[in-house]
Amino acid sequence: NNKAVATPSRTKEILGKYGFSFKKSLGQNFLIDVNILKNIIEEAGIHEEAGAIEIGPGIGALTEQLARHADRVVAFEIDQRLLPILEDTLSAYDNVHVINQDILQADVEQVIQDQFKQGQPVRVVANLPYYITTPILMKLLMSRLPIDSITVMIQKEVADRMAAEPNTKSYGSLSIAVQYYTEASVALTVPKTVFMPQPNVDSSVLHLEMRDQPPVQVEDEDFFFDVVKATFGQRRKTLMNNLARHFKGRMDKTELRTRLDEVGIDPSRRGESLSMEEFAALANRLYK
């Protein structure tokens, strides 16, 4: 059968053959549009020398396209009911390896070492289960994996937050967290009709290109992210009010005002107006 998995008719046929029923709790919304998949693979920069890691292959819609365009594909799937189906739909490809594991539990670094050639560029590509988008992405980013990029279909609103610039309503601590590790951009937005079943939310493809170095130098990363979170604590409040609440008992308003002054940041500003560079300067000044 050489018709792509990602068509409505073939997907229905496969689901019927195995009597598969979707588990909403696992975020199972399968892609049924080959054009979208080709766009994703292009945005991801997948080429014949590249290694690809997929999270949640489902019945293999994206996996199949990755197998055709990449050197090797390793996919993590939590739902063991999908294993015999993947075995079937991907039987024509000898460059795919499926691991039956929760991505949040997996030792991805070890898998990269075991499964890909040394020095091979590795890119993560996925149509993510929406209920755990942020934990998955933060795990991949914070574990500083030897990967080049992450290209994922996620809820539009979350993609907007991750790629947001200062002074926009989507900008927040998630934007800083993601952009500290990557250059983030929303590559395309996608209609609900390309999924089976259709999700309740709109979707976008987010592209994250890993940075070699963070864009700012911070004295202490945990402290930096704490300050960022505190600053966005109550969005309507000023920087001073949010910081005073966060540092209560540790630093009073006079002290905070002096330090803000020293880095040239007006205490009456709101968190959403601060750039990554300003957050870094502020956190470094408050750290000592």
Q: Which of 77, 160, 272, 278 binds ligand SAM (CB under 6 A)?
A: 77
Only segment of 52-60, 84-92, 213-221, 280-288 that touches ligand SAM (CB under 6 A): 52-60
- Convert residues 96-115 into a mask of x (bound to ligand SAM by CB under 6 A) and - (unbound): ------xxx-----------
Q: Applying CB under 6 A, does 70 fall inside the site for ligand SAM?
A: no
Shortest CB 225 distance to ligand SAM, Å: 24
Cβ-count burial 77-88 (b if 16+ within 10 Å, e if not)? bbbeebeebbee
Q: Show Cβ contacts of residue 120 under 8 Å, excluding neighbours closer than 6 positions.
A: 49, 50, 51, 71, 72
Nearest residue to the partner ligand SAM, using Cβ: 56
Q: Is 27 or 172 the residue whose CB approaches ligand SAM more closely?
A: 27
Nearest to 207 by CA among 181, 177, 186, 191: 186
Q: Applying CB under 6 A, does 58 fall inside the site for ligand SAM?
A: yes
Q: Show Cβ contacts of residue 40 under 8 Å, excluding neighbours closer than 6 positions.
A: 62, 125, 127, 151, 153, 205
Only segment of 26-34, 216-224, 259-267, 277-285 that touches ligand SAM (CB under 6 A): 26-34
Q: Applying CB under 6 A, does 55 fall inside the site for ligand SAM?
A: yes
Alpha carbon distance 67, 52 (integer Å) = 9
Residues 242-271 binding ligand SAM (CB under 6 A) are none
Q: Applying CB under 6 A, does 76 fall inside the site for ligand SAM?
A: yes
How many contiguous H segments (helices) and E segments (strands) does the chain have? 12, 9
Q: What is the dihedral of CA 112, 116, 120, 125, to 10 degrees?
A: -60
Q: What is the dihedral of CA 102, 83, 127, 44, to 10 degrees?
A: 100
For residue 203, the SS3 value is: strand
Q: Which of 36, 40, 52, 78 binds ligand SAM (CB under 6 A)?
A: 78
Q: Applying CB under 6 A, does 172 fall inside the site for ligand SAM?
A: no
**Number of neighbouring beta carbons within 10 Å of residue 178:** 23
Q: Applying CB under 6 A, does 27 fall inside the site for ligand SAM?
A: yes
Q: Applying CB under 6 A, does 209 fall inside the site for ligand SAM?
A: no
Q: Which residues bind ligand SAM (CB under 6 A)?
A: 26-31, 55-58, 61-62, 76-79, 82, 102-104, 127, 129, 132
